[in-house]
């Protein structure tokens, strides 16, 4: 049976096409999340087709720059986590911790942006009851925001463990699982940004 | 430059182009190309997703079934959204 520790310092290419990233269990969560979000994305698009004028008018009330900034933040967060994993595999734990910490900051700033956006929308009189567009907007960005909160918390935990030389280092599989979840959050936002801010 | 950094820069550039060139400038200048702009924006989004999955999630080196499942999800979701969105493909 392969010991997790033997993966540290091993290049990904050495285990090409045989190893499931993060182990099999995390993919039940990730696969389930992808399926649920696909159902919500398609339901949103179906309702958009039924009333494109209201969806267009409502989407113009959003500030594209905020969605754009949040997209760049999550892409940067994904890159920082991928870099952290490279450092971890090469045994540079403190540097891996630093990059996990920086990635968690992208989650914090994302949530701050989202709070500002929601506050402005509520202040302008929009709510989940306004119309179908805003019902979907607040529901989708709310569920996604919850994912960002969880992912950010996991990254902060990794940062605290990897930066403290006396703390127990998380396993390679645990780190990969957390990293995969963070990339899932990024992927879901890429779809949300295109659907809610750009094409509607 | 490390591979993940090149991928990240490409993803950032694609986001800028998609937001301000395709959907922004082109969408305002040529509103009659609405369907083409919608299609391009969605395709760029799902190409970005494939890069995030294959490179950052390490699907590139994962077993075949996981690579296939990823591609099926990307094609099915993008296809469903294109077919359902208002426009010439609408079902």
Nearest CB partner across the interface for A86, out of B2, B45, B80: B2
pLDDT tens column, B58-78: 999 999 999 999 999 999 999
pLDDT given at position A6: 45
Q: Taking the CB of residue A153, how many other CB atoms lie within 10 A of it?
A: 13
> Under an 8 A CB cutoff, do B66 and A41 touch?
no
What the block records as the tokens of A22 is 């993060």
Q: Span B30-47, mean pLDDT?
A: 87
Contact by Cβ (8 Å): B18, A198: yes
Cα A38 from Cα A46, distance rounded (Å): 12
pLDDT given at position A160: 96
pLDDT given at position B3: 95
Contacts B64 to A, Cβ<8 Å: 17
A69 touches chain B (CB under 8 A): no
> pLDDT grade, residue B21 (50/70/90)?
confident
Contacts B10 to A, Cβ<8 Å: none
10-residue block means of pLDDT along chain A (200 residues)?
45 66 92 95 95 93 96 98 97 96 98 97 95 97 97 98 89 96 98 93
Cα B16 from Cα A198, distance rounded (Å): 12
ipTM of the shown complex: 0.93
Nearest CB partner across the interface for A42, out of B55, B63, B84: B84
């Amino acid at each position: 049976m392969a010991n997790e520790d033997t993966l540290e310092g091993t290049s990904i290419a050495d285990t090409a096409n045989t190893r499931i990233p993060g182990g099999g269990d995390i993919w039940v969560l990730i696969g389930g999340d992808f399926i649920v979000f696909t159902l919500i994305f398609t339901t949103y698009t179906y309702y958009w087709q039924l009333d494109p004028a209201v969806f267009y008018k409502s989407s113009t009330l959003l500030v594209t720059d905020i969605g754009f900034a949040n997209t760049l933040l999550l892409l940067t967060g994904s890159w920082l986590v991928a870099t952290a994993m490279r450092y971890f595999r090469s045994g540079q734990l403190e540097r891996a911790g630093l990059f996990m910490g920086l990635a968690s900051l992208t989650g914090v700033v994302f949530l701050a942006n989202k709070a500002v956006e929601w506050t402005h929308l509520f202040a302008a009189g929009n709510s989940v009851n306004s119309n179908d567009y805003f019902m979907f907007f607040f529901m989708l960005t709310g569920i996604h925001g919850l994912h960002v909160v969880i992912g950010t918390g996991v990254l902060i935990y990794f940062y605290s463990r990897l930066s403290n030389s006396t703390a127990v280092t998380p396993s390679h599989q645990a780190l990969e699982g957390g990293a995969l979840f963070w990339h899932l959050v990024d992927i879901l936002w890429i779809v949300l940004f295109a659907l809610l801010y750009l094409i509607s | 430059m490390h591979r993940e950094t090149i991928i990240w820069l490409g993803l950032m550039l694609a986001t800028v182009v998609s937001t301000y060139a395709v959907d922004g400038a082109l969408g305002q200048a040529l509103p009659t190309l609405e369907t083409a702009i919608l299609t391009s924006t969605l395709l760029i989004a799902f190409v970005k997703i494939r890069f995030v999955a294959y490179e950052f999630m390490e699907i590139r080196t994962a077993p075949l079934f996981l690579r296939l499942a990823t591609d099926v999800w990307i094609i099915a979701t993008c296809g469903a959204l294109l077919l359902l969105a208002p426009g010439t493909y609408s079902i």
